[in-house]
Structures are given as structure tokens and as C-alpha cells.
Amino acid sequence: MAEIMDLAILNGKVVIPDDGVYPLNVYVKDGKIKTLSAEVLPARETVDAAGKYVAPGIIDPHIHLGLFAPLKTELGTETRAALISGTTTQGVFFGGPQSHLESFPAVRADINAHSFTDIIPHLVIGTDQQLAELTRYAREFEVASFKIYMNGIPGLIPNVSDGFIMDVLAEMKKTGKPCILCSHTENASLVARAVRLLRETKGEQITVADWTLTHPEIVETEAVDRLAHLAAEARCPVYIVHLTAAASVRRLKELRLGNPYVSVETTSPYLSIRHTDSLGGAIKMEPPFRTQQDLDGLWQGIAEGVIDTIGTDNVTMTIAEKNMNAANVWEVLPGYAASEHHLSVALDEGVHQRRLPLERVLACMTKNPARKFGLYPRKGSLLPGSDADIVLIDLEREKKVTAAATHTRSDFSIYEGRVFKGWGVMTIKGGRIVAKDGALVDEQPRGVCLRR
């Protein structure tokens, strides 16, 4: 008598990241992938995935929550919006000057009570106290990823020195577990100089396109080089968040040949928006958007495996919170909600427009982030034993983006009016169907704070 499966996903095209696409049925039991098979096995519930791609749930390694609204609120609204579009796991950066020993237990409790997606916590290390406590964060909270800002935000997030970075890498090694250091990788004093020069020449009359001049590409390429040096010296893995410049991709292509310690992320907004796009204050961002050549260079980096992962750097804010319509662009804050269109941007720009293989693009959004953050093959895989986090993709579906139709608490979209081809049409998390056709079908938040 054959075992009865909990869920069968039949007739779909199964995407194995960085491998290929296979006509197989997917079987789920007790929240895990049980088997992939061409056979039809008995199951309690069946989904017909004919014409659809069946992929591991999307893992967005880079978002922020709780910056402009309470964490609890955004766990409710923003992780829900992400889940509806096919994202089942999100990496969240938690910062602030306080000891994480004081703040993180409440953060973790909020996640476990209110999140719809599973959360990979990344802790920002910016003070001497946080540095001294890093080993305890790793052991007591089972966290394995940290973050530093080579270029912070004046008054909010401190820039750290190269010496401090070496201290963090040394502490990470002392934990005795595989840790990775995420880095906002820009040269702070060159940014400060470029800001000063732009203020001197243009005063308050700058446009959002001018804002890009405050971060000339050397601020990124120089910091990439420096970080790679430090990682090689410490023999400790680093992860460059939100890469923006084609010149950095070219440099990293050479660098990575001899340096196994560097991993690279870009974001779906940087893969789809140029600094000259007429989107006004909505696209003021830090680092800024760049040119078509940069956008092309980032896609090239994905095609060639120089870029490992695609995140969003989602910071949810409303038009009012962003000060988006301020006449003076200096006063507009960087950031936007981007989680909900993450998958569609990659499918439209990467698979349709640039003809990249689906299994390559999705590797950057599933398997690779899982590997970099110590979660593979529990996450990012459809192999037997992996968590049954799955997205069904309709690659031919076209839909226009309007802020009004999104599920985030934000009231604008950087993609307003754009038509994307390729959408997540069903999300399965832990073996349950949780979202279907752009709506949640399970109102229970089932996300957990992941331990590593």
C-alpha cells in the first residue's frame, strides 16, 4: 500500500536552480518535499500545475522592516505582501546603537508571532559593545550573518574603519561557526566629498538624476577592492550588498578568480531602473540608480556568475514618510517598497527581455541566498527533505503594476504603470497553499525566525 502524500503538484515544469527544468510531479509530506517523480502517487490534495513552472520559494536576502512603522505592523503588512508574490523567506537587517542582547529577544518574539515569511536575521555591528558581544549573538541567538556599513548614514548609522572590519572578521572566526559579514561597500570620504562638490555647484537645484553624482562609481569600485583585500587577509567570507556599478562587476570578475571569500548581491530595482527614468523623487536611493550600461553590466554579472544573489533592499515608506514630493531633492529620503514585484522584475527583465535561463535567474533568488546564509538545502531547493516552500510561476502572464493594487502599506510604487510578464501565481509554504492568484488564502502568519 503506497504512502499517501499530503500534497501533489502535478504536470508542472520543475525548476532545479543552476541545473535545468524537468517535467516532474512534486510530492509533499509533513511540510517537506518527499519526492519528485514522473509517476502519479496518491495524495490528499492535488494542484494542477500544467503550463506553470514550479520553483523553490523565493528567498530575498536583503530587506529592512520596522524603520518607518513598528516592526510588528510591518511584519503583518510587508511579509504578507512578499508571500503573496512568491517570496517565502526574507533576510532582515536589524541595527541601532543598543546591545542586541537587549533588543533581539523581543524582535525574535515578534517575528515568531507575526511574520508570514521565514526570517533570516542579520545583525548590524556598529559599536564597540556590539563587536564585543558578537560571539554571544552567534551562540545565544544562533545568528550567523552580520553587517557593517563602510558608508553609513550621517547621524543614524556609523561608518566603520578598516580596522573595525578586521576586528569583526576576527570575532566571527572565534564563534567557531560559519559566519558571513554583509557590507555596505562604499568609500565614505569620497561620498562626502562628492556631496560637498555637488552642493557647491548646484545648491538646492538638483534633480534625482543629479543625485547619482554624489556616488561616482569609484566610491563603490574602490571599496569593493578594499573589502576583498580585508576578507582575503582574514580568510573570512564577506558579502557585498546591493552592487550598482558595471565597473564593479568587471573588477569583481577578475578579483573572484583568486579570492574565494567574496560574495555579491545586487537588487531587482538596480536591475530594472535607470537614474534618468522619469520617476521623480520615488527613485531617490542610496546607493543611487545608475545608467543603462550599469544595468546591463549587472545582468551580465548574473549571466556570468559574478553576482550570486538578487535582493530588494526593501525599505517600506509612504510618500509622506519619504518626503517624496519635496521641491529640494536633498530632503527626499532614500528607499521604497520593492518586495512585491521582486520576482516579476527578474522574470520580465532577465528571462524574457535578456533571454537568461530561468534556472540561472532563480538560482540567484533561491539556492544561492540559502547557501550564502547557511540554510541550504533546507531552503532554496526542491530536493527530497527540503522545506516545502514553493512558488508556481506563470511565465506568460502579463499584469500592470499600480500602487493601488499592491498589498504593502506603502502608497507609491517605483514600478507604477509598468507591465511585467511573468508572475508568481501560487505560494506554498511549509507544504500549505498560502497564497493564490495575488491573494492570501491563509490568514495565519506562519513565519519563524530561522536559527543557524
Of 22-30, 254-262, 296-304, 312-320, the segment contacting Zn ion by CB under 5 A is 312-320
Of 117-125, 265-273, 309-317, 332-340, the segment contacting Zn ion by CB under 5 A is 309-317
Of 190-198, 275-283, 284-292, 305-313, the segment contacting Zn ion by CB under 5 A is 305-313
Of 29-37, 307-315, 324-332, 364-372, the segment contacting Zn ion by CB under 5 A is 307-315
Cα Rg of the chain, angstroms: 21
Give the integer Cα–Cα distance in Å for 401 and 424. Answer: 14
What is the smallest separation between the CB atom of 405 and Zn ion, expressed in angstroms?
25
Shorter beta-carbon distance to Zn ion: residue 313 or 340: 313
Shorter beta-carbon distance to Zn ion: residue 147 or 379: 147
What is the smallest separation between the CB atom of 147 and Zn ion, expressed in angstroms?
8
Question: Please, is 368 exposed, middle or buried when counting C-beta atoms within 10 Å of its C-beta (0-12, 13-18, 19+)?
Answer: buried
What is the smallest separation between the CB atom of 417 and Zn ion, expressed in angstroms?
26
What is the smallest separation between the CB atom of 34 and Zn ion, expressed in angstroms?
37
Shorter beta-carbon distance to Zn ion: residue 15 or 240: 240
For 298, phi then psi, to 5°, come to -65, -40
Shorter beta-carbon distance to Zn ion: residue 289 or 423: 289
Other C-beta atoms within 10 Å of 148: how many? 25
What is the smallest separation between the CB atom of 406 and Zn ion, expressed in angstroms?
20
What is the smallest separation between the CB atom of 93 and Zn ion, expressed in angstroms?
6
Shorter beta-carbon distance to Zn ion: residue 90 or 381: 90
Shorter beta-carbon distance to Zn ion: residue 133 or 313: 313
Shorter beta-carbon distance to Zn ion: residue 167 or 265: 265
Shorter beta-carbon distance to Zn ion: residue 313 or 349: 313
The site for Zn ion, by CB under 5 A, has a size of: 1
Taking alpha carbons only, the member of 307, 323, 306, 287 closest to residue 149 is 287
**Nearest residue relative to Zn ion (C-beta):** 313
What is the smallest separation between the CB atom of 446 and Zn ion, expressed in angstroms?
25
What is the smallest separation between the CB atom of 311 and Zn ion, expressed in angstroms?
8
Shorter beta-carbon distance to Zn ion: residue 124 or 347: 124
| Three-class SS of the chain | CCCCEEEEEECCEEEECCCEEEECEEEEECCEEEEEECCCCCEEEEEECCCCEEEECEEEEEEECCCCCCHHHHHHHHHHHHHHCCEEEEEEEECCCCCHHHHHHHHHHHHHHHCCCEEEEEEECCCHHHHHHHHHHHHHCCCCEEEEECCCECCCECCCCHHHHHHHHHHHHHCCCCCEEEEECCCHHHHHHHHHHHHHHHCCCCCHHHHHHHCCHHHHHHHHHHHHHHHHHHCCCEEECCCCCHHHHHHHHHHHHHCCCEEEEEECCCCCCCCCCCCHHHHCCCCCCCCHHHHHHHHHHHHHCCCCEEECCEECCCHHHHCCCCCCHHHCCCCCCCHHHHHHHHHHHHHHHCCCCHHHHHHCCCHHHHHHCCCCCCCCCCCCCCECCEEEEEEEEEEECCHHHCCCCCCCCCCCCCEEEEEEEEEEECCEEEEECCEECCCCCCCCECCC
What is the smallest separation between the CB atom of 184 and Zn ion, expressed in angstroms?
7
Q: Which amino acid is at 109?
A: A
> One symbol per residue from 221 to 240: x for binding Zn ion (CB under 5 A), - otherwise; what is it?
--------------------
Taking alpha carbons only, the member of 197, 96, 215 closest to residue 151 is 215
- Nearest 5°: CA angle at 379, between 428 and 103? 100
Of 120-128, 257-265, 313-321, 370-378, the segment contacting Zn ion by CB under 5 A is 313-321
What is the smallest separation between the CB atom of 104 and Zn ion, expressed in angstroms?
18
Kindly identify the residues of this chain, within the stretch 22-41, that bind Zn ion according to CB under 5 A: none
Shorter beta-carbon distance to Zn ion: residue 245 or 392: 245
Of 202-210, 219-227, 311-319, 370-378, the segment contacting Zn ion by CB under 5 A is 311-319
Shorter beta-carbon distance to Zn ion: residue 186 or 313: 313
Q: Which amino acid is at 137?
A: Y
Tell me which of 220, 313, 348, 389 binds Zn ion, using CB under 5 A. 313
What is the smallest separation between the CB atom of 295 and Zn ion, expressed in angstroms?
19
Q: Is 78 in the site for Zn ion (CB under 5 A)?
A: no
Shorter beta-carbon distance to Zn ion: residue 171 or 313: 313
Binding site for Zn ion (CB under 5 A): 313
